[in-house]
Structure 1
Amino acid sequence: MFLVQCMSDIFEEPPDSRSLGKYRNRIVNGPIIRTLVWLGVPPLINQLTVVAYNVANAYWLSLYGETTVAVPRQTWPVMMLFQALVMALTAASLSIVSQYIGGKSYKEASLSASRFFTLSFCCGAILCVTLLTLRGLIFAVVLSTPPEIFEDVMKYSGVISFDIFLNYISLIFTTFLQGIGDTRRPAIVNILAVSLNALLDPFLVLGLGPFPRLGVVGAAITDVMGKMMSVGALTYMLKKYYPELKVFFTKDIDFKWIALVMRIGLPVLALGATNGFAFLFQLWIINQFGVTVATAYAIGFLIMDIVDAALWGLSGATAIMVGQNIGAENYGRAKEVAYKSALLLFTLVALGACLIYPIRSSLVDIFADDPDIIAETDRFLQILVPTLPFFGLLMVGMSTGRGSGHTIFPTIIGAFRLWGIRIGLGYMLAFNFGMGSLGAWLAISLSNIIGGILSILWIKYGNWTEKVVERRQA
């Protein structure tokens, strides 16, 4: 009965469908678990759609060439590094906009949204050009990409660079809608965009029918086309459904606002940048063992993304509820939201891990025929899948920091997890102790466990319920 009620709540439209604060009462007063599900299921469905597309994309690429499936994963840490800034901007935006809405200060919410949009547009354009210019140096020198896939990586990254610019706009618009409490419409938009990608992928990758056989370039083109669709649709939805939130280019960016954004966003930027460099270095470690281990790494993370899907929906709901409840001065409820989110996510991810673990070998067989790749990927999954529930706790800690605006301690946890354990310990185990790829896999697993435990301790004992914005009536 509870599940039926939750599902009906997801698609229920509040009476005043044009009110900027129409979701506020439910978020600050409604049942916590039910509201988490109501907010989290749309982006969860969205993430499941993305995972399904990534699986299909990997399958088409594996038909094009067995090691070609490793190409997108080679570019992933680079994309993560280049998108660290938008992660900081969206973290600050979610915290500031949601707290203004929670405090019914709608004019301030509109002004802040316009400032965030202006910054995101300009930064995205600059970083797009930067990646186009430097990608040869990055993949040849920094990452030591295996020569078997280097040319494909260069072609793929040349097209996917434009995805950075579009993603800066798409993510900031999505964050505005989520800050309001509307998680359904961004999810619907992304599902449609991903569906377009999935529809076009086999035609452009494999050259079906009249289309050219483009391989990884075709996969990158469909990604960019889908992101263009997302930007257009999100712009339309903001204007149609939330006209009170006026988003436009602005020069009205004062030092007080910049200081607030830096206070919230700099730790997230630092974490994003250090994460990006850490994942670059982690990939460099993996690449030292050749294309077989690099391919196993790509396939393994693809399969783990299936288990992780719950994180990207429900952890975002945590940030929204924490932000609006702190804005409404419901500090005890904000703590309760974080506790219940941690319990819910740990349980769901543990269930997903239990389902995936017994069938991991069958899943690997879908993407690879080479027995060495299959064996290495299976070993990767044996070690990492059981630790994913702890990664869920880490994500709840990050989301609590984003929603509350207190991002420094989660940043420290994230940096230690990556640099101290994944990189420092991983390098020692892989090279100094001669464990090879097994050492790298063990370090990644330990980083999930330790990061999760530290995050839940911070949620329980940390002082993160203090507001970061002033409450003023519009």
Structure 2
Amino acid sequence: MVVTSPVQTARLSADAAATARASRTRLLLEAPIAPTLAKLAAPNVVAMFAQAAQGIAEAYYASRLGVTALAGLALVFPLVMVTQMLSAGAIGGAISAAVARALGASDVARAATLTVAAWLIAAKLALVMAVLVALFGPRFFEVLGGGTESVAAAKTYALVFFPGCIAVWLCNASLSVIRGTGDMRIPALVLLLVFGTSIALSGGLALGWGPLPALGMAGLALGPICAFALGGGAAIGHIAFGRAGLVFRGAVGRLSADMFRDILTVGTLASINTVLTAVTIIMMTGLVGRFGEGALAGYGLGARLEFMMIPVIFGIGAAMTAMVGANVGAGRIDRALRVAWTGSCAAAAIVGSIGLLLAVFPDLWLGLFLEPSNTAALDAGRSYFRIVGPFYGFFALGLALYFASQGAGHMKWPVISSLGRMAVALVGSLILTTSMGLGAHGIFAAIGGAMLVYGGVIALAIWFGEWRKAGR
């Protein structure tokens, strides 16, 4: 019998992980596009539906605390989603794309060093966000039009969630590294753990299940923070112990400005796009808030579903980011474009179908949270879905192409399309509410038109060769 030493066992394990990682990269570069994209996206989509379930559960728990808590959650929700979108989508996507491009170019050492840079970036951005919310969060909630009680509820949530958001940032940065190696299964499993734990802890800590204290809004925030801390520890351990196929010997010494620039050049533009998306929602929340707490609660439920479509699109988009990144790194632009269109059209079809369904049957969603007696909130929510729902497909198309553009490293047109969306939403809302007196219905019409602009602009730019022009 052959006996291997612990050192030999560790080396064999590392070699096996490296071989698996190289095999995944070949799959991104050579396998048939549609089946490969579906295979890669499937675990992500499952995990993102788990995130959607967590969002539904959180809104349900808030509704059990009362309409004021639900309105407070609507006020703080854009900032929470900005954290998720930046850490997982914008900066996270840039991390995944940078790692994928390095592996596509067969530079494994660079991929490991980029991982260390990613952790440092995530920690610093988490600190910045926590400080900004502590300084300006309360005033922000007041500007959005919340009343005294709903602002107090939002503050309670924020003062727990944002000091702990470093757990969210480090978890999502680590999962993005793993996705960049072509492994979508491990991130999906970790996120299933995170969101399942969050659903249980948020409800238990908010409503006081069993031996847990009833902390109200503070409990809603503490649940996801604890869950992300658990998931982040698992993801970092997976990478650090070589299970992702990356070797970190000498990685810290190889850190340079170029490593940070590789992530932040794409990540900064992607973050601008994310912030513009969130600012658009925030502005619309502020405008709707002028029509009362009921309208704010109803629109908040509509905006929450819109935000929840982002993780669903991310399920496909994360696979596209890795696949496009690897092909761009290998110089295969034509294949990268085919990946982008295949995944984006699939995302548009899925999310567009959801939007059309709720345009016809809005109470399928609203009825989960609102009693028939909440007439003002129900009326606002129904109006939102009937007007905005048919445009969800354009929103999905634009956002999916945004993820593909991260992989390609070309983020100019996603930012331009977001600027166009914000301008149409704001200007259109002001015209339709003031000059034409359409009230909240006018705001919703402007939101729908803005989604059309968002998806149309970025799609036309890529169709007419933006990636090829940028690469010259």
**TM-score, with normalisation over the residues of structure 1?**
0.88
Residue 286 of structure 2 corresponds to 284
CA-to-aligned-CA distance 1:357-390 (integer Å, 9 cap, x gap): 4432243122112112112111111111111111
Residue 318 of structure 1 corresponds to 320
Residue 399 of structure 1 corresponds to 403
Supply the AA of the counterpart residue of 1:133: L
Residue 36 of structure 1 corresponds to 37
Moved more, 157-166 or 306-315: 306-315
| 2:454 is equivalent to residue 459 of structure 1 | no
| CA displacement at 1:138 relative to structure 2 | 2.3
CA contact (8 A) 1:66 1:367 kept: no
CA contact (8 A) 1:193 1:226 kept: yes
CA contact (8 A) 1:422 1:440 kept: yes
Q: 2:453 aligns with which of 450, 454, 468?
A: 450
Q: Which runs of 5+ in 2 are unaligned?
A: 1-14
Residue 302 of structure 1 corresponds to 304
CA contact (8 A) 2:91 2:268 kept: no
Supply the AA of the counterpart residue of 1:461: F
| CA displacement at 1:306 relative to structure 2 | 6.2
Residue 22 of structure 1 corresponds to 23
CA-to-aligned-CA distance 1:253-290 (integer Å, 9 cap, x gap): 53444554453233223323433443332222122222
Residue 191 of structure 1 corresponds to 192
Q: 1:417 aligns with which of 408, 417, 421?
A: 421
CA contact (8 A) 2:314 2:400 kept: no
| CA displacement at 1:250 relative to structure 2 | 4.4
The verdict on how the C-alpha distance between 1:116 and 1:208 changes in structure 2, with shifts beyond 3 A counting, is: closer
Seq. identity, %:
21
Distance 2:465 2:249 in 1: 35
Supply the AA of the counterpart residue of 1:454: V
The verdict on how the C-alpha distance between 1:349 and 1:92 changes in structure 2, with shifts beyond 3 A counting, is: closer
| CA displacement at 1:101 relative to structure 2 | 0.5
Q: Secondary structure at the match of 1:435?
A: coil
Q: Secondary structure at the match of 1:214?
A: coil
Q: Secondary structure at the match of 2:148?
A: coil
CA contact (8 A) 1:315 1:396 kept: yes
Q: Secondary structure at the match of 1:367?
A: coil
| CA displacement at 1:335 relative to structure 2 | 1.3
How many equivalent pairs are there? 452
Distance 2:369 2:335 in 1: 45
| CA displacement at 1:239 relative to structure 2 | 2.5
Distance 2:391 2:70 in 1: 25
CA contact (8 A) 2:281 2:303 kept: no
| 2:382 is equivalent to residue 378 of structure 1 | yes
Moved more, 305-314 or 423-432: 305-314
CA contact (8 A) 1:42 1:184 kept: yes
| 2:436 is equivalent to residue 433 of structure 1 | yes
Q: Secondary structure at the match of 2:410?
A: coil
CA-to-aligned-CA distance 1:175-201 (integer Å, 9 cap, x gap): 101111111111111111111121223
Distance 1:178 1:229 in 2: 19
Supply the AA of the counterpart residue of 1:115: A
Q: Secondary structure at the match of 2:23?
A: coil
CA-to-aligned-CA distance 1:206-229 (integer Å, 9 cap, x gap): 223333322211111101111111
Residue 172 of structure 1 corresponds to 173
| 2:335 is equivalent to residue 337 of structure 1 | no
The verdict on how the C-alpha distance between 1:52 and 1:78 changes in structure 2, with shifts beyond 3 A counting, is: closer
CA-to-aligned-CA distance 1:107-134 (integer Å, 9 cap, x gap): 1111122122112212212322332233
Supply the AA of the counterpart residue of 2:67: E
| 2:62 is equivalent to residue 75 of structure 1 | no
Q: Secondary structure at the match of 2:163?
A: helix
Q: Secondary structure at the match of 1:162?
A: coil
CA contact (8 A) 1:203 1:211 kept: yes
Residue 95 of structure 1 corresponds to 97
- The 5 Å alignment of 1:55-204 reads 55-80=56-81, 86=87, 88-140=90-142, 142-204=143-205
| CA displacement at 1:313 relative to structure 2 | 0.6
Q: Which runs of 5+ in 1 are unaligned?
A: 1-14, 469-474
Distance 1:78 1:312 in 2: 18
The verdict on how the C-alpha distance between 1:163 and 1:430 changes in structure 2, with shifts beyond 3 A counting, is: farther
CA contact (8 A) 1:23 1:182 kept: yes
CA contact (8 A) 2:100 2:322 kept: yes
Distance 2:330 2:309 in 1: 34
CA-to-aligned-CA distance 1:131-185 (integer Å, 9 cap, x gap): 2233223223x33322241111110110111343222212211110111111111
The verdict on how the C-alpha distance between 1:261 and 1:200 changes in structure 2, with shifts beyond 3 A counting, is: closer
Distance 1:38 1:90 in 2: 21
Supply the AA of the counterpart residue of 2:369: F
CA contact (8 A) 1:170 1:230 kept: yes
The verdict on how the C-alpha distance between 1:280 and 1:265 changes in structure 2, with shifts beyond 3 A counting, is: same
Supply the AA of the counterpart residue of 1:401: S
Q: Secondary structure at the match of 1:21?
A: helix
